[in-house]
């Protein structure tokens, strides 16, 4: 009997399908919340496979608590910075993640929505109207900025960066510049994109959108120096991972007018916003900032597809077949 522990219920049919498989004993943490650490350590005991979420820190302590029979960690997320990959490799525990086209499209759409929201001041205008401040048409009211012809700086030209670029390039005739660890000739050919150093990109771009994994090399990828390099009229979009941006320095840059605004779906000290023990709600009070609760991939289609990929990999593993989404 293969024992599988799922750290939290998630949308779609994957868990139900998993539970119906012969030879599987599936246990799920039922409460609609992040599983407490103490409970996680207790519930993983005896598990052959852990189906985790990005909010679960799966490290040596969890692996020890599970036992030597633990052979697989299936991470219900595209990113996997919540898992100690090197420790898993040392123990010969297989690790997979769940990237899918639906998630890619959802995050790309969300980032683009933030871009439009900032450029056209949609949140500000909505709040203004709801507050009954609208007294009639005014040619100078809520002036925003157009997108056509602007320069989009994409940091991380992977699947999501490509998807965003395609929609903005085809639909709005924007200029694409990008920065990545390696040159992407297809990306350059498809969008006439130009490779730039990070500093060059920040100086040139009207909108900077981040699509990198959280690694040591990308922690605080955007901090004081980078924010100072950006145009005062530029917007910063982060739908990747919170610690990629130095949130304290971002707040300073916004307050000082070093950049025009920001769209954030992720936060450095998530779920806290501002990283301040004495939370002053600074980001939440700024009219030129759009905040969403880590929901860029939150579509019905994406959530179900992620679950199906986890299921597919678990079945492949238990049948001694190649893992489609192997990380370790």
pLDDT of residue 90: 97
Task: Reply yes or no on domain 102-291 having CATH 3.20.20.10.
Answer: no
pLDDT of residue 314: 98
84-115: per-residue pLDDT in tens? Answer: 999 999 999 999 999 999 999 999 999 999 99
Quick one: pLDDT band at residue 32, thresholds 50, 70, 90?
very high
Are the beta carbons of 153 and 197 closer than 8 angstroms?
no
Lowest model confidence (mean pLDDT) among 167-171, 217-221, 270-274: 270-274
φ, ψ at 165 (rounded to 5°) = -60, -40
41-64: per-residue pLDDT in tens? Answer: 999 999 999 999 999 999 999 999
Span 184-190, average pLDDT: 97
Structure tokens at 241: 């991972």
Quick one: pLDDT band at residue 278, thresholds 50, 70, 90?
confident
pLDDT of residue 251: 95
Of the candidates 91, 120, 220, 294, the residue annotated as catalytic is 294
Query: Is 47 in a helix, a strand, or coil?
Result: coil
Q: Is 241 annotated in the active site?
A: yes
pLDDT of residue 280: 80
Question: Which is it for strands 151-155 and 49-53: parallel, antiparallel or unpaired?
Answer: unpaired
Quick one: pLDDT band at residue 275, thresholds 50, 70, 90?
confident
In the chain, the percentage of residues whose pLDDT exceeds 70 is 100
pLDDT of residue 260: 98
Of the candidates 196, 241, 268, 303, the residue annotated as catalytic is 241
Q: Compute CA distances 270 → 156, 265, 267, whole Å.
A: 22, 10, 5
* pLDDT over 80 (residue 283): yes
Q: Is 121 annotated in the active site?
A: no
Quick one: pLDDT band at residue 17, thresholds 50, 70, 90?
very high
Strand order in the sheet with 24-28: 24-28, 2-6, 49-53, 72-76, 94-96
Mean pLDDT of the chain: 96
Check for a shared fold between 2-97+300-318 and 102-291.
Answer: yes
Torsion of CA 117, 121, 122, 126, to 10 degrees: 150
216-233: per-residue pLDDT in tens? Answer: 999 999 999 999 999 999
pLDDT of residue 277: 72
Instruction: For residue 83, give every residue at least 6 positions away whose Cβ sits within 8 Å of its Cβ, in sequence order, or none.
Output: 52, 58, 59, 73, 75, 95
Give me the residue spans of the domains in the chain. 2-97+300-318, 102-291
pLDDT of residue 274: 84
* pLDDT over 90 (residue 323): yes
Instruction: For residue 319, give every residue at least 6 positions away whose Cβ sits within 8 Å of its Cβ, in sequence order, or none.
Output: none
Of the candidates 25, 188, 270, 301, the residue annotated as catalytic is 270
Span 148-157, average pLDDT: 97
Distance between CA atoms of 169 and 174, rounded to whole angstroms?
Answer: 5
Which of 311, 306, 304 shows the shortest CA–CA distance to 11? 304
Tell me the fold of 2-97+300-318: Rossmann fold (3.40.50)
In the chain, the percentage of residues whose pLDDT exceeds 90 is 96
* pLDDT over 90 (residue 7): yes
230-262: per-residue pLDDT in tens? Answer: 999 999 999 999 999 999 999 999 999 999 999
């Amino acid at each position: 009997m293969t024992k599988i522990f799922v750290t939290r219920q998630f949308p779609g049919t994957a868990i139900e399908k998993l539970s119906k498989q012969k030879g599987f004993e599936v246990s799920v943490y039922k409460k609609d919340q992040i599983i407490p650490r103490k409970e996680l350590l207790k519930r993983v005991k005896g598990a052959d496979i852990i189906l985790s979420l990005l909010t679960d820190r799966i490290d040596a302590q969890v692996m020890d608590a599970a036992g030597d029979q633990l052979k697989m960690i299936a991470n219900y997320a595209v990113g996997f910075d919540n898992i100690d990959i090197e420790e898993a490799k040392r123990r010969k525990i297989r690790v997979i993640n769940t990237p899918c086209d639906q998630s890619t499209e959802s995050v790309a759409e969300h980032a683009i929505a933030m871009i439009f929201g900032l450029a056209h001041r949609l949140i500000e205008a909505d709040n203004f109207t709801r507050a009954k401040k609208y007294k009639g048409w005014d040619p100078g009211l809520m002036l925003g900025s157009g997108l056509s012809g602007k320069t989009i700086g994409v940091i991380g030209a992977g699947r999501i960066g490509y998807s965003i670029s395609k929609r903005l390039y085809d639909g709005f005739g924007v200029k694409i510049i990008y920065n990545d660890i390696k040159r992407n000739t297809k990306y350059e050919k498809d969008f006439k994109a130009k490779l730039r150093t990070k500093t060059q990109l920040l100086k040139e771009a009207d909108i900077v959108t981040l699509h990198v994994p959280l690694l040591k090399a990308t922690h605080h990828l955007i901090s004081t120096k980078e924010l100072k390099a950006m145009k005062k009229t530029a917007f910063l979009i982060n739908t990747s991972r919170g610690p990629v941006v130095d949130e304290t320095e971002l707040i300073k840059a916004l307050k000082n007018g070093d950049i025009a605004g920001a769209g954030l779906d992720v936060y450095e000290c998530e779920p806290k916003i501002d990283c301040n023990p004495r939370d002053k709600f600074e980001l939440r009070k700024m009219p030129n900032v759009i905040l969403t609760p880590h929901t860029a991939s939150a579509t019905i289609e994406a959530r179900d597809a992620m679950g199906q990929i986890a299921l597919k990999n678990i079945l492949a593993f238990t049948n001694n077949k190649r893992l489609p989404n192997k990380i370790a």
